[in-house]
Structure 1
């Protein structure tokens, strides 16, 4: 019996250095999702950021509305909507509209907001963001199920609030909560019975916290009378693959240093070595990134499966380490040679090939007997004049023998 298919997708923050046209960079993000749709990817999640210059998408909903018109099958999520930045009714209403426009292809990813600079500009205390996220979720979850909500907090109020349109997706659009190392996301997902989005799954801290965070999610769900499903758990990690490891390493020299600069100077994550050693070697050795071949990507996913106990979707962190053509090729190699191994796409082909190979002698013998019978019928009626010599030889006949008969 076939197992459940592991889904594949991308988490598109995005990350664009300051040395290129931002309009064209956004267009390339749209083209990436179109390319993924053609390749059969399952999901693309789009980020929300408002400062620091690299992560250019301010409204995931606007991006999703645009790309939905240019794609056919891929599901599109907000990755993530920062809940403290939005009145819950306004965000729920926009997501509900997208749910109808896309005929159920939209998903809502939520989080507290990842850049303190965003919150500071809006006068939001970063220390309160996680509490604000929890309060917003208490409102958004029932709203997106078509329920009426009355609620008052320090920062929003809802009076008989409801969506004008009954949700297209039932009972609701899928909602996923971002999680990294802390238990905040896992607790929120469990409390409401939502999906989990592990953004830093391959970082040292995120990788080590995978099994713990899922246990927290399950236990919290049980305590609140909810259930959670591993098929809704997404794990995110950076990948760039090529036909050879050497080619992959060469490809990422194009933009890796600019990506690392952003995380060193803005996001303050210790991703790059400070001792002068090669950052490519460091990223590979730490397990943080795949820079290699399809086989290396397979090994990374198997490693994540073993550490987590099982999950539903692997998402590549979009990073622009390579130029556009090599980036597209990397996504194509993932679709052609990595995804099939986790989706059982070739299982029946393998069985069919081996069955035909193992029985070749018998099958070919029967086929030759069938051909021989028809040739014999023809010789009996018309003689051997129009039969090719090699066919007669295979049957132990020749024109001379036939003439003598």
Structure 2
């Protein structure tokens, strides 16, 4: 692991969200809010909220509006866009909404950005999906310029224009709120993040394809940072994302996700080429249960506390070290079991990576090793008390 990774790893979630289209959307959104409120109580550090406009599964069209609602229910947890699809918005609007949320949350907001994940979203807006990455870079450069306290901005591209533009409020967070860039499999993510000096979110770290490029992405990131004259990177700022469901035993975890993994897996493996590859490599039939497919895919972890710790340790080894881990939340278990999984994660997984219990265990070992001596001391104290009592009785000037 990199020498400059802080000992206390931070934890959070990446919430699409993912909900079966046949469910009640009002209740689905309410339980998402309840989940974030519970995460805040459990000591999770952050929650990323997605933006999508099609598919029927990922039903938050404005993560900023959702974050404003979640902020009213929470006290400590950082709330982040996961992500704002920059090509869908004028950069002045993105920057304005970010600064407003920064004030409303008292500095608990992060702007996660990306080009847009679903081609169907771009299609409805009449956008060429192949142009989104370029538009994202143009937008992000403009947003960063607007967040600087340096006069007005003039900028023109083939899809937006800024004329003497300036934010009417300075951010609550100085010099500005955190901005983070997604990286999936191609080198474009780490190149952009490095060139602009922004932290990365490894969105595909839970997949075999994403894991193969982790070390390479960090190398590209370091090179781009240096070439642009930015300070050396801190691995503690690197976020890795992976699907997790944890229970006291692997059998319990698998039983809990069997509640809806057939539906959730259908959306998760919607890319038929990925599904076919997994089935062929594992020798599974086309109609194999989605739990078997998920096991064979090597994506994320459904298992015991030990399984999940091993999964995160493996990611740490493959990447060379990172400081923030995000659970990609899946709608594959009952709501109560999902909350229980997060509680088990907070109680038994997080302390392993945060060095939370080292002093407690040292004290317990010392206490336990000294127990025979402590018992002798207790017995001696009791004997002394009885002796004094007998002395007072004999002398006649004491009652107890």
**Residue 243 of structure 2: aligned partner:** 238
**Residue 197 of structure 1: aligned partner:** 201
1:138 to 135, 138, 141: 141
1:229 to 234, 256, 259: 234
Whether the 8 Å CA contact 1:115–1:267 is kept in 2: the answer is: no
**Residue 65 of structure 1: aligned partner:** 68
* 2:321 is equivalent to residue 310 of structure 1: yes
* 2:156 is equivalent to residue 128 of structure 1: no
SS at match of 1:8: strand
* 2:218 is equivalent to residue 214 of structure 1: yes
Which string of whole-angstrom CA distances, capped at 9 and with x for unpartnered residues, describes residues 218-244 of structure 1? 110111011332112111111112222
SS at match of 1:69: helix
TM-score normalised by L of structure 1: 0.90
Structure 1 residues not aligned, in runs of 5+? 389-405
Stretch moving more, 256-265 or 228-237: 256-265
C-alpha distance in 2, partners of 1:9/1:387? 62
Query: What is the Cα deviation at residue 3 of structure 1?
Result: 5.3
**Residue 357 of structure 2: aligned partner:** 346
**Residue 331 of structure 1: aligned partner:** 342
1:96 to 96, 99, 119: 99
* 2:261 is equivalent to residue 250 of structure 1: no
Query: What is the Cα deviation at residue 35 of structure 1?
Result: 1.4
Query: What is the Cα deviation at residue 387 of structure 1?
Result: 11
Distance 1:8 1:284, change over 3 A: same
Which string of whole-angstrom CA distances, capped at 9 and with x for unpartnered residues, describes residues 258-293 of structure 1? 122224447975386362434323323442121111
C-alpha distance in 2, partners of 1:54/1:248? 23
C-alpha distance in 2, partners of 1:267/1:351? 52
C-alpha distance in 2, partners of 1:270/1:174? 36
Query: What is the Cα deviation at residue 81 of structure 1?
Result: 0.3
C-alpha distance in 2, partners of 1:86/1:268? 31
* 2:111 is equivalent to residue 108 of structure 1: yes
Stretch moving more, 136-145 or 9-18: 136-145
Q: Please identify the structure whose Cα radius of gyration is greater.
A: 1
Whether the 8 Å CA contact 1:46–1:77 is kept in 2: the answer is: yes
**Residue 56 of structure 2: aligned partner:** 53
Distance 1:3 1:224, change over 3 A: closer
C-alpha distance in 1, partners of 2:154/2:272? 37
Which string of whole-angstrom CA distances, capped at 9 and with x for unpartnered residues, describes residues 156-198 of structure 1? 1122222111111122111110111011111111111111111
Distance 1:268 1:66, change over 3 A: farther
Structure 2 residues not aligned, in runs of 5+? none
Distance 1:268 1:225, change over 3 A: same
Tell me which of the two structures has the higher relative contact order, counting C-alpha pairs closer than 8 angstroms and 6 or more residues apart. 2
SS at match of 2:163: strand
Which string of whole-angstrom CA distances, capped at 9 and with x for unpartnered residues, describes residues 143-167 of structure 1? 2233342221111112222211111
Which string of whole-angstrom CA distances, capped at 9 and with x for unpartnered residues, describes residues 291-315 of structure 1? 1111111111101111111111111
SS at match of 2:22: coil
Whether the 8 Å CA contact 1:52–1:266 is kept in 2: the answer is: no
Which string of whole-angstrom CA distances, capped at 9 and with x for unpartnered residues, describes residues 52-103 of structure 1? 1111000000000001001111110000000101111110010000000000
C-alpha distance in 1, partners of 2:343/2:295? 21
TM-score normalised by L of structure 2: 0.91
